[in-house]
Structures are given as C-alpha cells and as structure tokens.
Amino acid sequence: MSTNPEQRSDFAKMATFVGIGLVCMMGIIFGGFYAEAYINPWLKGKPERYGETVLKTPHPVIVEANPQPTNSLDEIAKIKLPAPADDPNLKVREGLVLWLRADAVQQGTKHADLVAVLPDASPLRNDARQMYPVSRPRYSQGEINGKDALHFDGKDSFYYFESNFGVSPATVYAVWKRKEYGGAGFQRLYSSGAFGTDYENAKSAPAGQPAYNGIYFSAYDPKGDGTDVPDANNQPMGPPTEPKLHKNISVQPVDLRRFMIGRLNHGPVQFFSGQLGEILLFNRALSADEQKQVESYLTAKYKLNKQAQ
C-alpha cells in the first residue's frame, strides 16, 4: 500500500512530536533525580559533600572537641601522618592501591574519637580524608573480635577519593559487621563509578560482579531490624553482630575514579551503618591462589568464622 507525500509528511511530523515528547520526559525524570539527590539535601542544610567545587560550599559544621573542625580541603590535604606499621602477614602486594586498617589510626586516638585522616598502608599513601567533622567515622577500639574498627553512623559518615584510582580491573576485600539496626534500606559499604553508573543492576550483573562500570557493595536492611537477606547481587549478608569477610572481583576494567567508602558515590544517600575493620583495593583481578592468601590473612587476623562469600 503506497502513501502520498502528504501522508508521509504527517507521519514525519508525528514522529518528531513523539520524539520531542520522549526527550522532555527523560529530562523531567533525570531533573527530578538530580533535584532529589543534590538540590533538596542542599536546601535542607546537607549539601552534597563531594568534589573540590562542592566541598568549598559553606556547610553548618558540627563542632566537636576532638578533632578541631577543618575549614578547607586545602588544610586537610596538608595533614601528613606517618606511614602505618607494616603487617607482614599480608603477602599479596602487587597492584595494592589502597589498604585502610582501623588499627592504623593516628597515635593517641581514643575510643569514639572522630577520625579525620586515616593513613593508607599501601605504598601509594592514598590516605582517607574527611574535612567535615559531622561526616567523619569514629574510632571503635576492639570492636571486631578484639580488633579495632571504624564506626560509620548511617547518616553522614564517609571517606572519599577523587581521581586516585583510574579505570582498571579491581579486587576489593573488606572486613565489616553491622550490629546497628535501621538506617537506609540500601547501605553502601563502598561505591564507585561515574554519575548514573552505580545503581543496582541485579538482572544483568552476575553474582559478585559490579553493576555497569562501577564497583560496589550494599548492605540491605529493608525492615530496619537487621534481618539477614541477600544484597542486589545475591550475596548473603551475615547476622548483624557477626563480622563478615567480603570480596568483589572484576576482571573487566571498572571506573574507580569516584571511589567512596561509607555511602553512595554520587548522592548523599545510602550511608553505611556499622563497623569497618579493614578494606583492601587492588587495581587488578587476583588469582585464585592470591585470593586464598588474602582471605587467610584477614580470617586469621579478625578470627572470622566464615570465608568470603
């Protein structure tokens, strides 16, 4: 069946109209997300605390006796702590770009003190820093089977790294536990990737693999009562009082340029509520042999009952 030029013209107009409508609809959807994730928290006095530009935004800092509030990103960048004592029990070192241990806090730190800077034990010294006292985790002495941990409050606490790790394969290990009930449904222990790339993607991401081009780990507590349920990638979460050994390996390159510990990396949401004893980040996928060595080190150190899932 043929169509005359007038019919074809009407069809083209209709297609153009539908296309413009779809573009406007997508703009409204993304605009709504941006307003919810960035503008709304800022209006409520909790600006998105990420990136040099936003970090300079005035913020109602909660002043606490220890440590003194830091007034700028430049000031906290100048804080240089001694390198942590080495732990020779960790044998795998190739590609280690971040090694944060709660037992490496600055000498003299007391239980429940806020930790502004946590020195990185890797050779690269990617120290974790947080300029806002309200957003600093607290030192928790002997919290994980007698070993030290950092307490994240599920509301504001996190560390951030900007343009430290690039895009590469990755292996992440973490020892954590969560005895605190409640908080956000999804709680990010760590999160990376560019804007719009770090959402849950359970349908297309195989178990243990990152969603899109980011890498992340979520503690999920939908009822707010510490119920043991799987996360979006079907990795089981242990009872909230039991320390867990977590690993995440990506053979394919993932975006590590916006890496955060303790919350979602592109919006002030999904804060982790619990204890973190240690986290290791490698810029490569470890072999099966190397995985066993790292898991053996962490299991022995923290007296864990279960191997990594």
Q: What is the pLDDT of residue 173?
A: 96
Task: For the chain, give the percent of residues with pLDDT over 90.
Answer: 33
Task: For the chain, give the percent of residues with pLDDT over 70.
Answer: 62
Architecture, CATH, for domain 68-302: Sandwich (2.60)
Helix (H) or strand (E) holding 179: none
pLDDT digits (tens, 9 = 90+) for 55-74: 443 333 333 333 444 556 67
Dihedral class, residue 144 (left if φ above 0, else alpha if ψ from -120 to 50, else beta): beta
- Helices and strands (H, E) in the chain, number of each type: 5, 12
- Which range is least confidently modeled, 22-31, 101-110, 266-275, 298-307? 22-31
Q: What is the pLDDT of residue 72?
A: 66
Bridge partners, 170 (sequence order): 250
pLDDT digits (tens, 9 = 90+) for 170-205: 999 999 987 655 455 678 899 987 544 444 443 444
Count of residues making up the chain: 309
- Which range is least confidently modeled, 116-125, 132-141, 284-293? 132-141
Token pair in block for residue 294 = 């790292």
pLDDT digits (tens, 9 = 90+) for 61-119: 333 333 444 556 677 778 888 999 999 999 999 999 999 999 999 988 988 888 989 99
* Summary mean pLDDT of the chain: 74
The answer to whether the pTM exceeds 0.75 is no
Task: Say yes or no to pLDDT of 158 above 80.
Answer: yes
- Which range is least confidently modeled, 145-149, 214-218, 220-224? 220-224
Dihedral in degrees, nearest 10, Cα atoms 126, 132, 137, 138? 120
Question: What letter represents residue 185's amino acid?
Answer: G
Decide if 76 contacts 262 (C-beta within 8 A): no
Decide if 152 contacts 137 (C-beta within 8 A): yes
Confidence of residue 150 (pLDDT cuts 50, 70, 90): very high
Average pLDDT over residues 153-165: 86
